[in-house]
Each structure stands twice: as C-alpha cells, then as structure tokens.
Amino acid sequence: MSADIKGAAAALRQAYATGVACKPLRDDLLPTGDLTAAYAVQQAQVSDWLAEGRRLVGAKVGLTSRAVQEAFGVFQPDFGVLFADMAVPDGAEIDPSTLLQPRVEAEVAFVLGRDLPYDQVTVADVVRATDHLLPAIEIVDSRIANWDISIVDTVADNASSGRYVLGTSPRRISEVDLRLCGAVLEQGGEPVSVGAGAACLGNPLHAVAWLAGTLAANGRPLRAGDTVLSGALGPMVAVTPGAAYEARISGLGSVRACFSSGPVSARSEPVLRAPQSRTKGGSA
C-alpha cells in the first residue's frame, strides 16, 4: 500500500474519530480522477473495519443520476459498502451529532435471496436473485469539509455513506414497476424532494446489475441476504436537526428517518468537483 493511500485512509479515519471533517483528498494525497487509488483507500478502511468486528451486510450504488455523473465528469456509478451498525430502525431517533454533514434521499432497497457471483449480470439475474424490496432512506454523509468533493473524494470516503433506514413491509419485485415508481420525500408533511425510478440509471434494476457485476469482477460478489441500496430516486436534502423525513415510494410504502435536536458539523451545500470544472449539484 502506497504512502498516499495510507495517508488518505488515515485522514478519513481521523475525521470519523474526531467528528471534524478533513480537507479534500484529491491533488494532495490522491491523483485527480484516479479511481483505482480511491477504491484502494476505500478497501483499506473496509479491511480495518472488518478487523475491528464490524459486520458487512451489503453495498450501495452512488452517482446513479446522469446529471450528477456529468457534474463529476464520469460516465458510470460508484459504490460503497454497508455495515450492520449503519442500519437504523424505521422511525427511530437519530442523533445528528454522530454525523458530520448528513443529507437524506429516498431509494429502493433490494434484499437478495441468491448469490450474484457473475461478472456479467443481467436484469433477469437480478430479478431471480431478489427476495424482496423495501423502501429506504439513505442518510449520506461526507468526511470531506463542506462537501467539497470530486469523484476521487467520494469513492475513497465509502461513496459518502452514513446511515440507512429500511421500511418494514417487504414487496415482491413482481409487484412494483421500478422504472415508473414515483417517490416523494416529505418533511413535516411538505414535499422536499420528488423523483422516480427512471432517475436511477433508467431503472434501479440497472443499478443493481451494474453493482453486482462490478463487485464480482473485483472478487467481492453480492451474496444471499445482502441488502443493496440502489441509488437516489430524487435530489438529496440537507438534514435539519429535530426534523422527521418520510419517503413514500409507490408500490413500496413508506419509511421514516427522525433526527433529534442537536448540532451538525456543516450546513453548506454540496460542491461537486469535476476533473476540469466546478459544478454544484446533487446526489451521492
């Protein structure tokens, strides 16, 4: 492992430990646009977390919006991992001080009933492997100060993962039109983000197929029992302490993320850094 990869992983670990976001990793520690190095940083952290006893329970897909991909100057999604201690029960109170810069987004969660060990995965493979679907709220977060992120920063930072909340009423995949399913994220009964399945790579099934093939090609295939967060259905929303957010996804029901009153580390909007440009935007 190179000194730069070790240094980037150490900077992120310090941000987790202290609750103080670090400066961007790009340029100083990681070459701009070097996804191989960024994923090496992510894997270094995952290895440490597993050694500490955390339990791996799945994976997440990020950058599933075409607009956000263009803002980053990339043409594929990214991924991160999910641990059991990142899961929050539906409606349980979340202390925002345990996060740095939380934002929420509505997603479809796939729970697998079969392994997906192939490096070329079709939509049919995903349909057969899926045991059930659940509505989900992903609480994305960034250890990079002020969300000043490039693709390298977010990949290294476990795809800007924080927590996630799953609904409790499973649905069979045959019961839901994943391309057309509408989603609304509400705060205090008022919509704050709207979207649909088509915003997630055209269909959340496409996102899961991409993830499964990519992970298998890297020797880390999805397994039966894994949870997959398939990507945002609408723009992410900055968390207000003391607020409750409810995601309603047609055909899947609803799920709630409730935050107690308390400080969070940053209130600025995300700043996405493309390799040759600066663009403000939206989902992790």
CB 161 within 8 A of CB 118: no
**Residues whose CB falls within 8 Å of the CB of residue 22, separated by 6 or more in sequence, listed in order:** 11, 12, 14, 15, 143, 144, 145
**Torsions phi, psi for 74 (to 5 deg):** -125, 165
In this model, does residue 69 exceed pLDDT 90? no
Helices (H) and strands (E) in the chain, counts: 6, 16
**Predicted TM-score of the model (pTM):** 0.91
**Crossing angle for the helix pair 35-51 and 3-18, to the nearest 10 degrees:** 50
Q: Which two tokens stand for residue 161?
A: 């993962």
Cα 250 from Cα 183, distance rounded (Å): 6
pLDDT digits (tens, 9 = 90+) for 178-218: 999 999 999 999 999 999 999 999 999 999 999 999 999 99
State the amino acid at position 76 in one-letter form: Q
- What's the whole-number mean pLDDT along residues 103-107? 97
CB 141 within 8 A of CB 101: yes
In this model, does residue 283 exceed pLDDT 60? no
